[in-house]
Structure 1
Amino acid sequence: MTNGNRRPGPSAPVAVRPSRSFLNDAGVRAVLFQILAMAMVIAVGWFLVDNTLYNLASRNIQTGFDYLTRESGFAIGETLIPYSATSTYATALWVGVLNTLKVSLIGIVFATLIGVVIGVARLSSNWLLARLATIYVESLRNVPVLLQLFFWYGLITEVLPSPRQAMQPIEGVFLSNRGFKMPVPADHAAWWAALVAFLVAVVIVRVLMIRANRIQERTGERPRTLLPGLGLLIGLPLVAWAVFGAPTALDTPALKGFNFVGGLSVSPEFAALTLGLTLYTAAFIAETVRSGIQAVGKGQWEAAAALGLKPGVTMRLIILPQALRVIVPPTTSQFLNLTKNSSLAVAIGYPDIVSVANTTLNQTGQAIENIALIMLAYLTVSLTISAFMNWYNKRIALVER
């Protein structure tokens, strides 16, 4: 028999967890490094600001934005809002912002239209059409945009005749080295009513298209929207125009002295800037459209042909909607480039935000504030365009099932 009292054997070693410093934690180190980096950025920024303010004060240079409320004392040739030399600097800068927006928006619309047409033409089976589109793209893409602005400005101001010998391609339209003059409807409440009716028609057509999409998803059949939409877009403004008096009077330009008065006037600076930016950017958009179309598989073309669809219908309803996911992101960059390239307007005398801010800077001597306002204006416009295009890109993105 064995004795119940056993001698205990050697006990198993107890694992001792080594002490660990909090600096060995990767998460802690990451947060710490970010805090240190942020502190360094703040310190450098504070040093630059403090040093700049000290240097400005030592040279008796005024700082701040109080000058915006003072009288500007200079005229601006093109304005979208009432402005005179007695207006404030803030109003002058706002005029420059609006002029920049005008050029940018018009340029974006026409550059997109021209770019899509040229991009599709490059893929045409017509040899001559495809080669002409290629020449357009390769020529305009490889010439600096500033030179193109000088070319168009010189063409308008040097080649076209003076107002007294102005060219008249259409009755009431005059082309001269002072710009383009054309008749417009005389100011009347009916035209404003027609504009409001058109905007209302756009909203109604959009609602009809959404409703048609839902019906198609539910039943497989799509109600007709083309003819009702055109009827609303054309008919509703006509009805509003007729109800408010149906005016037909035109404000026609007439030569008085050395220039035309009346009608719609397009200055040589605005025309040259818009033409240069539009045609230059359209060449890049055309290449984007071409690459987007080629990114769609050939099977899509073959399937559409097997269904008996015509090439135009295939391109509009099948190929382009799929190509948009490739086209939209780089096209957004081109929109931003066009907007930023509008700052070259100062080279041909168009009063954009850069030109107006430079004049303000020369009169007030407050360079930092004016440059900051220019940067803020372009940053705001660029971020707005980016946000809209990103929203549109997400809206048209293909959803995997």
Structure 2
Amino acid sequence: MAVEIGSSSAPKASFWRDQRNRAIMTQVVVISLFVAFVWFIVDNTIENLARLGIEPGFEFLGEIAGFMPTSPNFNLTNFDMNSSTHGDVFLLGLVNTILISFCGIVLATVVGFIVGVLRLSSNMLISFVAAIYIEGTRNVPLLLQILIWYFGVFLSLPNVRSSLDIGEVIFLNDRYLTFPVPVPEPGFMLFPISLILAIGAVVVLAKWAKKRQDATGEQFPVFWTSVGLVTVLPLLALIVTGFPVTWDIPSLQGFNFQGGTQAPAAFWALLAALTFYTGAFIAENVRAGIQAVSHGQTEAAFALGLRPGLTMRKIIIPQALRVIVPPTTSQYLNLTKNSSLAIAIGYPDLVNVFTGISLNQTGNAVEIIALTMLVYLTISLLISLFMNWYNKRIALVER
């Protein structure tokens, strides 16, 4: 009896036993539930607003605001109380929020790196002072620090008529810091053009110097050459055009200063609190990053005759950045969001003038809160994208 031998294939697994199919279906279910939840919230909100007789929409942005959200001499968007709208209030708050966040990030980074390096100093006194600053600042609530800087430091300064002066052109008092501003004249445009060209030349020079060092091992004085380019080229442009700029210098007239620009005490108090508070956290990130680099790197650099300062700049810090950057990104995001505490001292940021005053006047709470959340979300995402790009740029690349 002959036995028929045929080719047999393994039984095909059912749809639900396939791990990939289950993963796809799980994601579809989760996304569907999330969309349904959002739709429920939006629909419920619209229904409740309609029941209260509130018409949702953003038409209120075109209505005249009728109030002055900032001082006349700290008006970065030329806001006019008689003609500007709530949309202009939003723009003013946005500009002030970006300004305080940018300045805070830059200064906190500088403070954090300096204190982080000093924290590891072999000098016990310097290391102790740095540790006291870090631990003391990190463990005091930020809001309390803002109030201390504002009420305890800046409001205790002399009044306007008794202002502290620096060179009789900069004046500091309990209300603001006023300083001269340049007034451009015809021909001044050559100065910013020359400055942009100088910065471009610095970038090209840095890339050329790196390629030259990789090929020959010889170092080029990039720093001082860059300082010379950025200083000399714009200065030559001013000389050629006959210095087409004048200065609007503040002067005391009656009970106030006229001329120049005035940065209010609330700005400086908020900036100081954000800088030193966030700088303390960044300092710890810097300390951890430096300690993460093997001490053998330092010993090898010293064996090659490199100076301590050059060793720190060229060998230790570049490797430590891979540990420093990720947690520092979180601190940048925290600083940006913490700037909303400006409402405690009256700095005209987005939360204070838009989510506060405009909301009370218009009653469009949902729209205003949504716009404010969108602004902070956008700023945070942009910071994250930039820092993630920088982190990938400095990451170790395997060969």
**TM > 0.5 between the two?**
yes
Map 1:173-322 → 2, pairs under 5 A: 173-189=170-186, 192-246=189-243, 249-322=246-319
In 2, the alpha carbon distance for the partners of 1:300 and 1:165 equals 55
SS of residue in 2 equivalent to 1:181: strand
Query: What does residue 42 of structure 1 align with?
Result: 35
- Alignment of 1:144 with 2:141, yes or no, is yes
- Alignment of 1:385 with 2:379, yes or no, is no
Query: For 1:51-89, what per-residue CA distance to the aligned partner results, in whole angstroms no more than 9, with x for missing partners?
Result: 111111111012011111121111121331111122121
Residue pair 1:189, 1:244 contacting (<8 A) in 2 also: no
Q: Which amino acid aligns with 2:45?
A: T
Out of 331, 335, 356, the residue aligned to residue 353 of structure 2 is: 356
Query: What does residue 374 of structure 1 align with?
Result: 372
In 2, the alpha carbon distance for the partners of 1:18 and 1:232 equals 75
In 2, the alpha carbon distance for the partners of 1:130 and 1:222 equals 33
Residue pair 1:76, 1:84 contacting (<8 A) in 2 also: no
Out of 33, 37, 41, the residue aligned to residue 26 of structure 2 is: 33
Q: Which amino acid aligns with 2:15?
A: F
In 2, the alpha carbon distance for the partners of 1:375 and 1:221 equals 51
Farther-moved stretch of structure 1 (312-321 vs 186-195): 186-195
Farther-moved stretch of structure 1 (155-164 vs 276-285): 155-164
Query: For 1:164-206, what per-residue CA distance to the aligned partner results, in whole angstroms no more than 9, with x for missing partners?
Result: 1222254322221111122344443565532332222111110
Farther-moved stretch of structure 1 (79-88 vs 211-220): 211-220
**CA root-mean-square deviation:** 2.1
Farther-moved stretch of structure 1 (130-139 vs 211-220): 211-220
Cα offset for 1:142?
0.7
Out of 30, 45, 56, the residue aligned to residue 49 of structure 2 is: 56
SS of residue in 1 equivalent to 2:257: strand
Cα offset for 1:218?
3.2
Query: What does residue 397 of structure 2 align with?
Result: 399
Change (3 A) 1:322 1:370: same
Farther-moved stretch of structure 1 (188-197 vs 335-344): 188-197
Residue pair 1:141, 1:280 contacting (<8 A) in 2 also: yes
Residue pair 1:119, 1:288 contacting (<8 A) in 2 also: yes
Aligned length, in residue pairs: 394
Cα offset for 1:303?
0.9
Cα offset for 1:317?
1.2
Change (3 A) 1:13 1:216: closer
- Alignment of 1:326 with 2:323, yes or no, is yes
Change (3 A) 1:235 1:287: same
Residue pair 1:186, 1:250 contacting (<8 A) in 2 also: yes
Query: For 1:231-250, what per-residue CA distance to the aligned partner results, in whole angstroms no more than 9, with x for missing partners?
Result: 21111110111122225743
SS of residue in 2 equivalent to 1:168: strand
Q: Which amino acid aligns with 1:79?
A: N
SS of residue in 2 equivalent to 1:51: helix
Q: Which amino acid aligns with 2:334?
A: N
TM-score (norm 1): 0.92
Farther-moved stretch of structure 1 (94-103 vs 77-86): 77-86
SS of residue in 1 equivalent to 2:178: strand
In 1, the alpha carbon distance for the partners of 2:198 and 2:12 equals 74
Query: For 1:262-288, what per-residue CA distance to the aligned partner results, in whole angstroms no more than 9, with x for missing partners?
Result: 123220111111111011111111111
In 1, the alpha carbon distance for the partners of 2:98 and 2:315 equals 34
Map 1:119-138 → 2, pairs under 5 A: 119-138=116-135
Change (3 A) 1:379 1:45: same
Residue pair 2:184, 2:245 contacting (<8 A) in 1 also: no
Cα offset for 1:156?
4.2
SS of residue in 1 equivalent to 2:231: helix
Change (3 A) 1:205 1:251: same
Query: What does residue 4 of structure 1 align with?
Result: none
SS of residue in 1 equivalent to 2:164: coil
Query: What does residue 106 of structure 1 align with?
Result: 103
User: What are the ranges of 5 or more consecutive residues in structure 1 without an aligned counterpart?
Assistant: 1-7
In 2, the alpha carbon distance for the partners of 1:362 and 1:137 equals 40
- Alignment of 1:84 with 2:46, yes or no, is no
Residue pair 1:156, 1:179 contacting (<8 A) in 2 also: no
Residue pair 2:186, 2:244 contacting (<8 A) in 1 also: no
Residue pair 1:173, 1:183 contacting (<8 A) in 2 also: yes
Q: Which amino acid aligns with 2:48?
A: N
Cα offset for 1:90?
1.2
Q: Which amino acid aligns with 2:135?
A: E
Query: For 1:66-120, what per-residue CA distance to the aligned partner results, in whole angstroms no more than 9, with x for missing partners?
Result: 1111211111213311111221211210111110000011111111111111011
Cα offset for 1:10?
7.1
Query: What does residue 61 of structure 2 align with?
Result: 68
Flag the structure with larger Rg: 1
